[in-house]
């Protein structure tokens, strides 16, 4: 077996059964990284010595018949924004270029305790704030399918590492699509868990030593090449760590098996904010036909009375309130006038620049209403299927340039978050599966969204859809 082409769960099984050693699996990935990572720039820190030391320890533990964790001996990667003891954590923010983590982030520690071997850290845009991965410290990560195109972001390096078979599993984060859009752009799987299901201590932002302001909508989850891997990772990282008051001890429960004929799936192939490309709409329709043919009850539907534009505005405002909460007035004042900008993102920056507490709580109130609408809607469905992004990966461009979808220009950040924002606003879990391709041969993923805290049930639905789809694709350039 070639360890680089196995999923994390299959690697764990092979290592546990003695068909493969952790050293063999780790060396194979390190050799592949050395051969292929240069042009891709997916990993920006490779801890060869640390990984091999951990792999040798994993093999010794197995030989002594010690109890083995669910990822025992499996090499994985970590988004650069998470603390890993002894390695730099910068989140691609130049003022943090010399910041070395003194301890693991909570989730990194949990993955280590489960037996994972950390190969290194993957590239991110500055402060995880883009859906391209162009770092001022580490340079640009290229898409695994076409090196002219965006890798996605902010977990862009991790998604490319998974797609190019440099790693079987990645730990990422998502406040507006940051595990989902790079999974879509690179033809892999990703999970954005329910809000607060997974703690975030040791993730930047927030900046080290500063007041924690990002308390809503930001979540942490895995990217992988199978739904089984997503479930395995979630069971390891879920649950409070005693550091954040928001994270409750809600049991994950079993992922119930779901027969296609028992499923009720709602879907949309576009929303009123940004019309998707013809290629994206085609993949939605193909997937709907696939589900229907398998016996699922599939219906075009959305929550009654859902105001997409107000929802997007509230998501953007809540994001801005959190990331700007510690900014001095001198930095916020120049954006006051943006409230009249034609660009929705700039208008949000203008609305939130005064840090008006009454307005913040009004946003939170409206957020509760949207959450109730979407939760009530899903009383009648097992999941809601929709696009991840308006199109397949675009040719890299400046943030100041419009994002063009089938010839129609749209404001960059508005278009790039038009489908991902909602699950962050509602706090509902969402899973991305690779479902098809554009006419240019680029992968197109779709996302399944479920009810809050019903992550396990959503995983069960995703496993059913995964069985109907072709295997996770391998980019042409990385098939050997």
Using DSSP's 3-state secondary structure scheme, residue 434 falls into: strand
User: Within 13 Å and on the Cβ side, how many CA atoms surround 77?
Assistant: 35
Q: What is the pLDDT of residues 125-137, one digit of tens each?
A: 999 999 999 999 9
| Cβ proximity of 321 and 355 under 8 Å | yes
Please give the model's pTM, rounded to 2 decimal places. 0.98
pLDDT of residue 66: 84
Superfamily of domain 3-301+381-478: Amidase signature (AS) domain (3.90.1300.10)
Dump pLDDT digits (tens) for 454-465: 999 999 999 999
Mind listing the pLDDT tens digit for each residue in 315-327? 999 999 999 999 9
Distance CA 457, CA 252 (A): 9
> Which DSSP category does 194 fall into?
P
Q: Are 42 and 158 in contact (CB under 8 A)?
A: yes
Where in the chain are the domains?
A: 3-301+381-478
Q: Nearest 5°: CA angle at 458, between 413 and 191? A: 40
Give CA torsion, residues 385, 391, 394, 398, to 10 deg.
-90
> Where does residue 332 rank: exposed (0-12), middle (13-18), buried (19+ CB within 10 A)?
middle
Q: How many residues would you count in the chain?
A: 480
Q: Please give the positions annotated as active site.
A: 79, 154, 178
- Nearest residue to 186 (alpha-carbon basis) of 203, 204, 170: 170
Per-residue pLDDT of the chain (480 residues; tens, 9 = 90+): 899 999 999 999 999 999 999 999 999 999 999 999 999 999 999 999 999 999 999 999 999 988 999 999 999 999 999 999 999 999 999 999 999 999 999 999 999 999 999 999 999 999 999 999 999 999 999 999 999 999 999 999 999 999 999 999 999 999 999 999 999 999 999 999 999 999 999 999 989 999 999 999 999 999 999 999 999 999 999 999 999 989 899 999 999 989 999 999 999 999 999 999 999 999 999 999 999 999 999 999 999 999 999 999 999 999 999 999 999 999 999 999 999 999 999 999 999 999 999 999 999 999 999 999 999 999 999 999 999 999 999 999 999 999 999 999 999 999 999 999 999 999 999 999 999 999 999 999 999 999 999 999 999 999 999 999 999 999 999 999
pLDDT at position 257: 87
Give per-residue pLDDT as tens, 174-184.
999 999 999 99
Q: Which residues, other chains included, contact 165 with Cβ-Cβ below 8 Å and sequence gap of 6+?
A: 4, 5, 32, 474, 478
Amino acid 159: pLDDT? 98
């Amino acid at each position: 077996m070639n360890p680089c082409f196995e999923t994390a769960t299959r690697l764990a099984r092979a290592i546990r059964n003695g068909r493969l050693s952790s050293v063999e699996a780790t060396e194979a990935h390190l050799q592949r990284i050395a051969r292929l990572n240069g042009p891709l720039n997916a990993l920006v820190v490779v801890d060869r010595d640390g990984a091999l030391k951990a792999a040798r320890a994993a093999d010794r533990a197995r030989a002594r018949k010690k109890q083995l964790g669910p990822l025992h001996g499996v090499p994985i990667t970590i988004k650069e924004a998470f603390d890993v003891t002894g390695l730099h954590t910068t989140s691609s923010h130049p003022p943090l270029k010399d910041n070395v983590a003194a301890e693991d982030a909570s989730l990194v520690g949990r993955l280590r305790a489960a037996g994972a071997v950390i190969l290194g850290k993957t590239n991110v845009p500055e402060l995880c704030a883009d859906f391209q991965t162009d770092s001022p410290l580490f340079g640009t990560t290229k898409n695994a399918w076409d090196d002219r195109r965006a890798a996605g972001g902010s977990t862009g390096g991790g998604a490319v590492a998974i797609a190019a078979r440099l790693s079987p599993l990645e730990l990422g984060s998502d406040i507006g699509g940051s595990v989902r859009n790079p999974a879509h752009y690179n033809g892999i799987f990703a999970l954005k868990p329910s809000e607060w299901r997974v703690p975030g201590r040791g993730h930047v932002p927030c900046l080290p030593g500063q007041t924690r302001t990002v308390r809503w909508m930001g979540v942490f989850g895995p990217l992988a090449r199978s739904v089984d891997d997503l479930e395995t990772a979630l069971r390891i990282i879920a649950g409070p760590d005693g550091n954040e008051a928001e994270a409750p001890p809600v049991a994950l429960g079993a992922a119930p098996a779901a027969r296609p004929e028992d499923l009720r799936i709602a879907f949309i192939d576009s929303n009123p904010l940004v019309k998707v490309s013809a290629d994206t709409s085609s993949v939605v329709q193909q997937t709907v036909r696939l589900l229907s043919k398998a016996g699922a009850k599939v219906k075009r539907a959305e929550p009654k009375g859902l105001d997409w534009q107000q929802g997007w505005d509230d998501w953007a405002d809540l994001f801005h309130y959190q990331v700007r909460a510690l900014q001095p007035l001198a930095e916020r004042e120049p954006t006051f006038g943006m409230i009249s900008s034609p660009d929705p993102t700039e208008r949000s920056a203008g609305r939130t620049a005064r840090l008006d507490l009454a307005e913040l709580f009004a946003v939170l109130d409206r957020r509760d209403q949207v959450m109730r609408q979407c939760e009530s809607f899903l009383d009648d469905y097992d999941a809601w299927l929709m696009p991840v992004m308006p199109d397949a990966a675009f040719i890299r461009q400046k943030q100041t340039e419009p994002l063009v979808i089938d010839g129609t220009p749209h404001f960059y950040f508005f278009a790039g978050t038009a489908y991902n924002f909602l699950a962050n606003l509602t706090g509902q879990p969402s899973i991305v599966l690779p479902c098809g391709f554009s006419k240019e041969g680029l992968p197109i993923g779709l996302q399944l969204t479920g009810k809050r805290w019903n992550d396990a049930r959503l995983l069960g639905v995703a496993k059913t859809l995964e069985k109907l789809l072709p295997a996770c694709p391998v980019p042409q350039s990385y098939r050997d």
